[in-house]
């Protein structure tokens, strides 16, 4: 009889995961808490997800007023098109949730701004639609620290997994000693 070890079902699986970057736009980024940390950790996620060949999506909230996605991220997002939205939650971005399901995505990793508005509403709506949601605490932000802290607490209380960029990448990697491991190790340093 084989000793099969069960893994926790909440551990991210690259076959079921996608990265969602919410509204990291030039005009609003400047007034966020720790904007450099948000950019640096989001870049780590993008580069890591590309190494692991995992889908990446990104949104822009009312780009006419808030500008386009940060130039720091655009180069790494080359070849992808932003999902335009006017709603705070990505649930209002056309058929986005259906696109995720059609691509067999059941775990969504979120980076973006603002924590207490678009990130929180999207996370809660994804949960309501049967997705596991992992919010990357060091790749989200708000203008005020209190809004960030309460958003993290509320999301956690409602079943959102809270993690960090490095933890997410190593969770998806699963094993060391591979070429992917070497590339991810360089990215997180």
Please state, in angstroms and rounded to a whole number, the distance separating the CA atoms of residues 181 and 170.
8
Active-site annotation holds for 125: no
pTM, full prediction: 0.95
Number of structural domains (the chain) is 1
85, 90, 125, 138: which is the annotated catalytic residue? Answer: 85
44, 90, 118, 138: which is the annotated catalytic residue? Answer: 118
Q: Does residue 2 belong to any structural domain of this protein?
A: no
Domain residue limits at 140: 17-188
Please state, in angstroms and rounded to a whole number, the distance separating the CA atoms of residues 42 and 175.
22
pLDDT in tens, 87-103: 999 999 889 999 999 99
Q: Does residue 10 belong to any structural domain of this protein?
A: no
Long-range contacts of residues 146-149, Cβ cutoff 8 Å, at least 24 apart: 147/114, 147/115, 147/116, 148/33, 148/115, 148/116
Q: Does residue 1 belong to any structural domain of this protein?
A: no
Active-site annotation holds for 176: no
pLDDT in tens, 33-84: 999 999 999 999 999 999 999 999 999 998 888 889 999 999 999 999 999 9
9, 10, 16, 23: which is the annotated catalytic residue? Answer: 23
Q: Does residue 12 belong to any structural domain of this protein?
A: no
Active-site annotation holds for 118: yes
Q: What is the CATH number of the domain that holds 120?
A: 3.40.50.850
């Amino acid at each position: 009889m084989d000793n099969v070890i069960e893994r926790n079902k909440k551990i991210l699986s690259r076959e079921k995961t996608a990265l969602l970057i919410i509204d990291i736009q030039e005009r609003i980024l400047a007034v966020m808490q720790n904007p450099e940390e948000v950019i640096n950790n989001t870049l780590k996620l993008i580069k890591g997800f590309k190494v692991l060949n995992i889908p990446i999506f990104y949104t822009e909230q009312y780009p006419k007023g808030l500008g386009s996605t940060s130039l720091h991220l655009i180069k790494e997002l080359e070849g992808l098109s932003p999902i335009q939205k006017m709603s705070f939650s990505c649930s209002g971005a056309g058929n986005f949730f259906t696109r995720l399901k059609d691509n067999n995505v059941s775990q969504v990793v979120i980076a973006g701004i603002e924590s207490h508005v678009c990130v929180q509403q999207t996370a809660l709506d994804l949960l309501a639609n049967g997705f596991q949601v992992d919010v990357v605490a060091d790749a989200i932000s708000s203008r005020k620290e209190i809004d960030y802290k309460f958003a993290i607490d509320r999301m956690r209380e409602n079943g959102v997994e809270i993690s960090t960029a490095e933890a997410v990448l190593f969770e998806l990697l699963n094993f060391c000693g591979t070429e992917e491991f070497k590339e991810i190790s360089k990215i997180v340093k």
